[in-house]
Structure 1
Amino acid sequence: MVPLPQALRILLDLAQALDALHRNGILHLRVRPACVRIAGGAEPADAPVARLLAAEALLTEEAVQAPSSEPQDPRYTAPELTGRTAAHADARTDLYLLGLLGWRLLAGRLPFDAVDPLGWLHAHLAVQPSHLKTQRPDVPQPLGELLRSLLAKSPADRPASARAVAHDLRRCLDALSLPQHVHGVAQDVALRARHARFQPPRALVGRAVERNLLREALARASQGAVEAVALIGSSGIGKTALAADLKPDVLGLGGLFAMAKSDQLGSARPFALLADLLEALGQQLLRAPRPVAALGPDGGALAALSPQLAAALGLNAADSAVPSAHARQRLLVALVRLLAALGREQPVVLVIDDVQWSDADSLALLAGALSDRAVQRVFLLMLERSDTGWTARSDELVRPLRPQTVALRPLGEADVGNWLALALPGGLQQPAQALARIAARSAGNPMFLGQLVKTMVLQGQLVPDAGGRWQLDEHSPAWDALPDSVLEAASRGVHALGPADAELLAYAARLGTRFDARLLASLTGRDLARTEDALRAAQAELLLEAVNDSPGSDGKLWRFAHDRLQQAAYELAPGDASLRLHLRIGRTLRDAAEPGQLFETCRHLNLAVHLLEPGELPGLLRLNHEAGRQARERAGFAQYAALMRCAVALLPQCALDAAECRVLLHDAAEALVLELDFDAGDACLAQAEAIAGDPLETARGAELRMQWLIAQERTEEAFRLGLAALARIGLR
């Protein structure tokens, strides 16, 4: 065991080091003996100096010493790092690890005993440490209680900051130096850290009116109505939280709740929003099967968009093949039948997050289906940001549904006070003065309020006293350095990352609303364990969230906690650096050749096409052609045209044989005519007509030329062309 003064000195140095890291937005998450360096003086009585080795340096050192070792030592971990709790890692995770070190220093052993990783996992999750005083009688009661509070299983029950812990350790060390306490620390020294608690409330605050409006709409839908509500507000105002708050009520009625988020960067998939909603419905039907009336042969159109729905309802995508001109109508019929079947007895709630970025095809199809009289008990909830500077087409597309508009306002000062009362259970000193200052600074934005108060706790603008009450330090030099908005707070969190983690999130931002840790590991060259460590560290800083609602994800799916964070991460790599990231993503997806990634493969490679090697261009041309055909099968005609344009643009640089070239040009002409781009369609047809072909290819060209004419209401010319084509093959 380490003598008490030296142990306190070491713990104080480590707490101060953690405080410095946390105030700069950095978590360590690997605090253990291997990362502590202690330099002692020449004499035994000299005070030791402890230095905390950076986590990245520790990883490098361990990899050299034991390349096959696990990156996470099971003895030195925290409950929230095991993946077995709902809590996220944050600054208090480092305090748990500091508590383990404190026990080791003061008792000469860890607070738990185990013989294997599973035993250590159980200990960290379920075993309470004994009182330190039973292991070492000279440890004063307040210090023992401080160490015990650091080892609380829930982060919410630990001290709020390393700063408060360092303050208490300093008081213990100072008390030890007093003449009357030469032989020990005063047993009654007043410590404050273990009383200091900070936990952002999970409950909605100040939204009773809006909650009631949504529940009234749900009640009407449950009685048979089709309801549409547009929930509008600025970034971070609480739209998504309100929608999620509705889910338990929907499930309690035996209903279905499907939520999909539109990507601000767009998606290459046809009907991306609708496909995500169908996937969410399919996942719920797989988890809790229920009888659903047969959708008939048109159901195959939905199967092409959603494998999960196809598996739940036994649909076959091969049944969806119809002429392009009829594909969109067939998809609409199938969607009407699905919603009518699902809403026959229980409500179906469809939530569109960031509707302002939704693809127009999905919105138009949803509006058409929900306008059908056969559909009942459906509630469409659209969440729209009011501060994007982007004019939403959703207003025009869903106008037939006559949506009710609900505008979310900033929280008032009383609501901010209620929020603070839940987040800081010890209360505020001079509450009126502190409340006014915090309410004004946060502008009543719930997301920013949480970011702001967390920053104030870590940086010392909010400091607890011995009773756990929080005092606002208005004269702190760091006050003016606090963020002024949600965007600034998000950007600070992202830009505080080290180069390796910044690259990781820059890749993630380009992968869309959800991304796979395994793909990120492949892109960055890290192993999966260390990639997941980095993602958990970003989660602790409220940058990311784990996604656990997708079958087959194996806990490897993640998303940004907010689209502002995705935006900030995307901007970490501007210009050509951004294109190089897209290029690596595209090549990685292409080489993996997963069928479900074809559209994304094309999107990334097309963005970086000028960086590709000449030998890669024919392959990209064929990928675009195949993706275009798949888009046509799903009635995604806008994507069909866009992909075929990319393929045709590559033709001059690719040596294709005449037959392949003609087929490509015919498909491109069809796609462009479907999108009413007649000039471009005419150019493709002219190119194809200049290439010699067999009678069937010639007939296919004539058929497409007729479609081109009919789409322009030139029916008589199309009739004459058809007669001439028949004559050429001997039919009169």
Structure 2
Amino acid sequence: MSSSSTSPAMVGRDGDLDWLRSLIETVRAGTPATAVIGGEAGIGKSRLVAEFTAGLGPDVRLVRGQCVDLGDVAAPYAPVKGALRQLVAQVGADRALDAVGPGRAALVALLPELAASVADGTGEIVITPGGAGSGQLHEAVAVLLETLSRDEPIVLVIEDLHWVDAASLALLRFLLRSLGSSRLLVLLTYRTDDVPRGHPLRGFLTEAERDRWVERRELTRLSQAQVHELVRSLIVDEAPSERVLDTVFLRSDGVPFFVEELVGIDGCRDEGFVPDTLRDLLLARYERLPDEAQEFLRLLSTGGVRVSHALLSSVHRGDEAALDAAARESVRYGVIEIDGDDYAFRHALVREAILADLLPGERARYHARYAEAYEAQAAAGGRRLAAEISYHWLGARDPARAFPATIQAMREARSAVAYASAAQLGERALELWSLVPEPERVSGMTRLELMGRTASHLRHAGEGERGLALVKAALAECPRDDPQFPRLLRDKALYLATVGRGGSIPLLEEALAALPAEGADELRVTVLTGLAGRLMIEGRIDDGVRVADEAFELAQEIGYPRYASIAMNIASVCRAARGEVERALADLERARELAARDGAALLRYWVNASDMYHLVGDHREAVRLAEEGLERARRQGVERSSGVILASNAVDPLFALGEWERAGALIDRALALEPSAPFRVYLQRAKIWGLVWRGEPERAAELLRTFRANMAPIMEVEMQTRLGVARVATEVGLAVGDLSQAWRDGRGVLHERQLPLAGYAEPLLWALARVIAAVRADPTRVPEAEAAEILEAEPTLRSAMERLHFWPTRPLWSAFVEAELQPTEAAWRAAVGAATPETAPGFLRPYALLRLGEAQLDAGDRLAARDTLQEAYDAAVAGGVTAVQSRVAHVAMQAGVALGRATRGEATRGSAGVAGTDDPGDAVAELTSRERQVLELIAEGLSNRQIGERLYISGKTASVHVSAILRKLGASSRTEAVYRARALH
């Protein structure tokens, strides 16, 4: 019998192939998709991908990347660069650079060969310093793929993700979250048996599965019938016997590659030719080759799964004819394949088996040859190859030559903003430090400097805790008189803030004290600015002004405009917090002028300026500033990274303007992009608060329980967060009727020694006033002792409110606090008046009208109450304040007051307006007979499941009927639906 090394037809994967074909159709229609294919070695992942890509039409652009096995620290962006180089070759360098727009500098940092094509008039490529660099690079790749996919759908294949480098993994994580408007199919494969516990790919896969555009499959082994079919397709001239078929199935365990190898051994003539072990099976073809070919394959296996002919020629010690002959034999025996200019093992398992068979001395010699060849390529001006050189010198057991290559690889990774890879290489260099003679001279830095740089790379890579641990280790080794000591103290303080932990202020003060009296001015100004910022965040406002002013003066003196702008910015926020609002707003504009074109300083300006304008009540200006900053971020190529901070800063003013859907979309998008811990807490707080006022208190309470543990550390060190989260938690407790919890969550503000952040404190004091009012109305809703504590706190609350007399919005919030504590018709009428100007958040007016209507009902003035409640209902519908809309309906139903449909604002903003026809009675008429039955059962208080049981339908069907009733009646809740139906009759 003769056999083929590879089956002409794929067996047992038709369903998987159909799945991939359905995904590309989805992508063609304009929706991105990601397919993650896992499976054990030899299961057929690559074959499935090959079959799928071979069937792609001419309208689809295909690019591939291959992860490289370089041990624990792979070359940064290796698979991404391979795929992007193919894409650039297909569309041309000019088209690629044009497509990436503002991100061309970042793309050139990744692919330096594009530098010759950049014609920006300056000849300079500038990547934003610091952590923004990786954001620019990620954004550039996303924009490139998104833009080019508008012309043709793109399939991006990255194989062998179990070998992926850290930088590529971070980029893929970003792409999966951010490419929502592209026609891109990302196809990833990985070997499940090479992803043990603790492997970085595990976390990536867990996160990816939560993304709505990601689908993941693991390929299973073939059944006995499928193995038999595969064997018959491989044996081409004679039908195999049943004994052969059963033997192959038993020995292969249904793994397709093992089936092919078993059949490939002399056509599997009888069971005697079947190897006893997996190693024997993988080496069976190899061991039948001549010695020269075996040596060729051992050399090839040292270089990787795939090696170019040019590289192999430079490490091969024979002549070209001998090399060609060995390669030809290896191909003929089915061990390797020719792919363009590369030699590639037919399967990575074969390469690994041959590599494991090398003798120690042989392995070291081969690695040394590769290291020398890569060094020659690098010296000739080729691509960045230091990571490969480092890997091979380590394989050659030559730390003295591996060390400088590792240092250079770290620098190359940093220049390509591959912070995760740079950090890994820095850690490798630290391990080699004691093995190398004169490491300081070779590296050009001290060990402490290397530790500091590596920690910085870790922080920029999002590994804040690991960076913090390394800085702590460096400080433990550092003498107090070492010049690195104050810098390490500053870095530790910054890293603590990054991970949302306290202790930054004492460290920064210690760093200042450790600085020499003369010199080190640039370091001093960064420490002063960092200290001023932390003092501001923690509410020590007077100290913040003093330190920020000192930082500003020093920055001006030494000509450091970035820090002059940031210091002025911080001083402005602090001055505003103690009542100097006009000066603060003027100084903020000066901070913007000082920033000039500095991206980092401008980002700080837009974030703080938009927040301040929101807090003083100018919500439209706050949104404008946030959007202006977002547009600048877009022009700088960091819209999806740094720009997310600015976009999220528009959330609270958008809520105030009643643009709930827009704010919600910003929150969801920003959270999906995994912002830093403090910004994540800000967004979670806003999400919960929006749910409360949009009528979903139970969901809000559930999210609060979920997020509370993550919020606690940030609350400890940031007064803004402490007050903001306390306000939301208090309002959640009020919404679900848990007054005890509401009080416990909010009462801390009454005991704050200072209340400098008036814009955050006032709404919290109002929420606490609502708790006091609710307990006064019904003291039995809380334990007796707690009721006494709550009611006795009223003078303290009033005193706290008085302390905030300097803030522009104080008349608004004091009117609401007074109305809650003394709920007369006059007080609520005053609150309505206070909530009418544009400076008041939009949700307050319908709420105040509701409470005014309740006061009028209590006074017996039903006619006035009806008009007021109607106005409250109209305003709630127009402003999308669903919680007030539902409560108005409930109050009216309880009081027997008939309301008409919303008389204005129904078409505004697309919010929770009342749907239906112009005639109110038509809304009820639109209900089907079944819907009328369901409505009656809703009125009895039955749940969807109980309704289903009563009507002999499923709970899911009952839910569909309930949704239809709410839509037709223009109701936002079940209670409101019952009320609306009765009122419309």
Q: Please, what TM-score do these two structures have when normalized by structure 2?
A: 0.45
| 1:240, distance to aligned residue in structure 2 (A) | 0.6
Contact in 1 for aligned 2:97/2:104 (Cα 8 Å): no
Equivalent residue for 2:366?
Answer: 581
- Give the 3-state SS of the residue equivalent to 1:356 in structure 2: helix
Equivalent residue for 1:22?
Answer: none
Equivalent residue for 1:450?
Answer: 260
- Give the 3-state SS of the residue equivalent to 1:525 in structure 2: coil
In 1: Cα distance, 2:118 partner to 2:44 partner? 35
Match of 1:721 among 490, 503, 511: 511
Provide closer, same or farther for how the CA distance between residues 621 and 445 of structure 1 changes in structure 2, counting only shifts above 3 A.
closer
In 2: Cα distance, 1:318 partner to 1:498 partner? 55
> Which residue identity does 2:367 align to in structure 1?
H
Contact in 1 for aligned 2:65/2:158 (Cα 8 Å): yes
- Give the 3-state SS of the residue equivalent to 2:56 in structure 1: helix
| 1:587, distance to aligned residue in structure 2 (A) | 3.6
Equivalent residue for 1:127?
Answer: none
Contact in 2 for aligned 1:232/1:407 (Cα 8 Å): yes
> Which residue identity does 1:605 align to in structure 2?
W
1:637 equivalenced with 2:442 (yes/no): no
- Give the 3-state SS of the residue equivalent to 1:401 in structure 2: coil
Provide closer, same or farther for how the CA distance between residues 370 and 652 of structure 1 changes in structure 2, counting only shifts above 3 A.
closer
Match of 2:99 among 281, 291, 294: 294
Greater helix share, 1 or 2? 2
Match of 1:674 among 452, 457, 466: 457
Equivalent residue for 2:16?
Answer: 210
Provide closer, same or farther for how the CA distance between residues 521 and 355 of structure 1 changes in structure 2, counting only shifts above 3 A.
same
Contact in 1 for aligned 2:65/2:80 (Cα 8 Å): no
> Which residue identity does 1:405 align to in structure 2?
R
> Which residue identity does 2:352 align to in structure 1?
Q
Equivalences for residues 418-429 of structure 1 within 5 A: 418-428=229-239
Q: Which runs of 5+ in 2 are unaligned?
A: 459-465, 498-502, 522-553, 555-985
Contact in 2 for aligned 1:283/1:309 (Cα 8 Å): no
Match of 1:604 among 368, 375, 392: 392
| 1:728, distance to aligned residue in structure 2 (A) | 2.2
Match of 1:272 among 78, 81, 99: 78
| 1:562, distance to aligned residue in structure 2 (A) | 0.9
> Which residue identity does 1:715 align to in structure 2?
S
Equivalent residue for 1:523?
Answer: 315
What percentage of aligned pairs have identical amino acids? Answer: 23
In 2: Cα distance, 1:565 partner to 1:199 partner? 14
Contact in 2 for aligned 1:198/1:424 (Cα 8 Å): yes
| 1:521, distance to aligned residue in structure 2 (A) | 3.5
Contact in 1 for aligned 2:390/2:403 (Cα 8 Å): no
1:481 equivalenced with 2:264 (yes/no): no
Larger Rg: 2
| 1:376, distance to aligned residue in structure 2 (A) | 1.6
Contact in 1 for aligned 2:368/2:396 (Cα 8 Å): yes
Match of 1:246 among 52, 58, 66: 52
Equivalent residue for 1:332?
Answer: 138
> Which residue identity does 1:445 align to in structure 2?
V
Equivalent residue for 1:706?
Answer: 490
| 1:427, distance to aligned residue in structure 2 (A) | 4.3
Equivalent residue for 1:33?
Answer: none
Equivalences for residues 24-39 of structure 1 within 5 A: none
In 1: Cα distance, 2:99 partner to 2:161 partner? 30
Contact in 2 for aligned 1:227/1:379 (Cα 8 Å): yes
| 1:441, distance to aligned residue in structure 2 (A) | 4.7
In 2: Cα distance, 1:507 partner to 1:659 partner? 30
In 2: Cα distance, 1:284 partner to 1:487 partner? 41
In 1: Cα distance, 2:123 partner to 2:403 partner? 25
Contact in 2 for aligned 1:586/1:602 (Cα 8 Å): yes
Equivalent residue for 1:170?
Answer: none
Contact in 1 for aligned 2:68/2:74 (Cα 8 Å): no
> Which residue identity does 1:654 align to in structure 2?
P
- Give the 3-state SS of the residue equivalent to 1:728 in structure 2: coil
Equivalent residue for 2:129?
Answer: 323
Query: Larger relative CO (CA 8 A, sep 6+): 1 or 2?
Result: 1
Equivalent residue for 2:663?
Answer: none
| 1:660, distance to aligned residue in structure 2 (A) | 7.0
In 1: Cα distance, 2:17 partner to 2:167 partner? 30
Q: Deviations over 1:664-707 (max 9, x none)?
A: 75354222243234454466578887999xxxxx6x87556522
Provide closer, same or farther for how the CA distance between residues 722 and 659 of structure 1 changes in structure 2, counting only shifts above 3 A.
farther
For these two proteins, the number of residue pairs brought into alignment is 499
> Which residue identity does 2:492 align to in structure 1?
W
| 1:369, distance to aligned residue in structure 2 (A) | 1.9
| 1:568, distance to aligned residue in structure 2 (A) | 0.8
Equivalent residue for 2:221?
Answer: 410
Equivalent residue for 2:727?
Answer: none
In 1: Cα distance, 2:116 partner to 2:52 partner? 27
Contact in 2 for aligned 1:641/1:671 (Cα 8 Å): yes
Equivalent residue for 1:357?
Answer: 163
In 2: Cα distance, 1:317 partner to 1:421 partner? 63
Equivalent residue for 1:157?
Answer: none
Q: Deviations over 1:6-29 (max 9, x none)?
A: xxxxxxxxxxxxxxxxxxxxxxxx
> Which residue identity does 1:666 align to in structure 2?
E
Provide closer, same or farther for how the CA distance between residues 434 and 587 of structure 1 changes in structure 2, counting only shifts above 3 A.
closer
Contact in 1 for aligned 2:60/2:155 (Cα 8 Å): no
Provide closer, same or farther for how the CA distance between residues 487 and 389 of structure 1 changes in structure 2, counting only shifts above 3 A.
farther
In 2: Cα distance, 1:225 partner to 1:673 partner? 37
Equivalent residue for 2:764?
Answer: none
- Give the 3-state SS of the residue equivalent to 2:189 in structure 1: strand
1:628 equivalenced with 2:416 (yes/no): no
Q: Deviations over 1:509-550 (max 9, x none)?
A: 2222321333333334112332132122112222212221xx
In 2: Cα distance, 1:727 partner to 1:379 partner? 59
Q: Deviations over 1:265-305 (max 9, x none)?
A: 45531233333332343343359x96775323433323333
| 1:212, distance to aligned residue in structure 2 (A) | 0.8
Equivalent residue for 1:539?
Answer: 331
In 1: Cα distance, 2:164 partner to 2:443 partner? 35
> Which residue identity does 1:515 align to in structure 2?
V
| 1:409, distance to aligned residue in structure 2 (A) | 3.2
Equivalent residue for 2:303?
Answer: 511
Contact in 1 for aligned 2:61/2:153 (Cα 8 Å): yes
In 2: Cα distance, 1:358 partner to 1:338 partner? 21
In 1: Cα distance, 2:424 partner to 2:291 partner? 35
- Give the 3-state SS of the residue equivalent to 2:63 in structure 1: strand
> Which residue identity does 1:708 align to in structure 2?
K
Equivalences for residues 48-59 of structure 1 within 5 A: none
> Which residue identity does 1:240 align to in structure 2?
S
Q: Deviations over 1:96-131 (max 9, x none)?
A: xxxxxxxxxxxxxxxxxxxxxxxxxxxxxxxxxxxx
In 2: Cα distance, 1:544 partner to 1:223 partner? 39
> Which residue identity does 1:302 align to in structure 2?
L
Provide closer, same or farther for how the CA distance between residues 253 and 290 of structure 1 changes in structure 2, counting only shifts above 3 A.
farther
Q: Deviations over 1:611-645 (max 9, x none)?
A: 46xxxx3x654433222111111222343234334
Contact in 1 for aligned 2:150/2:182 (Cα 8 Å): yes
- Give the 3-state SS of the residue equivalent to 2:131 in structure 1: helix
Equivalent residue for 1:186?
Answer: none
> Which residue identity does 2:490 align to in structure 1?
M
Contact in 2 for aligned 1:228/1:380 (Cα 8 Å): yes
In 2: Cα distance, 1:309 partner to 1:443 partner? 49
In 1: Cα distance, 2:13 partner to 2:424 partner? 43
| 1:653, distance to aligned residue in structure 2 (A) | 4.6
- Give the 3-state SS of the residue equivalent to 1:230 in structure 2: strand
In 1: Cα distance, 2:225 partner to 2:407 partner? 59
Contact in 1 for aligned 2:300/2:307 (Cα 8 Å): yes
> Which residue identity does 2:426 align to in structure 1?
M
- Give the 3-state SS of the residue equivalent to 2:34 in structure 1: strand
| 1:571, distance to aligned residue in structure 2 (A) | 0.7
Equivalences for residues 222-241 of structure 1 within 5 A: 222-241=28-47
| 1:432, distance to aligned residue in structure 2 (A) | 5.7
Equivalent residue for 1:172?
Answer: none
In 2: Cα distance, 1:311 partner to 1:418 partner? 54
1:285 equivalenced with 2:91 (yes/no): yes
Provide closer, same or farther for how the CA distance between residues 730 and 240 of structure 1 changes in structure 2, counting only shifts above 3 A.
closer
Q: Please, what TM-score do these two structures have when normalized by structure 1?
A: 0.60
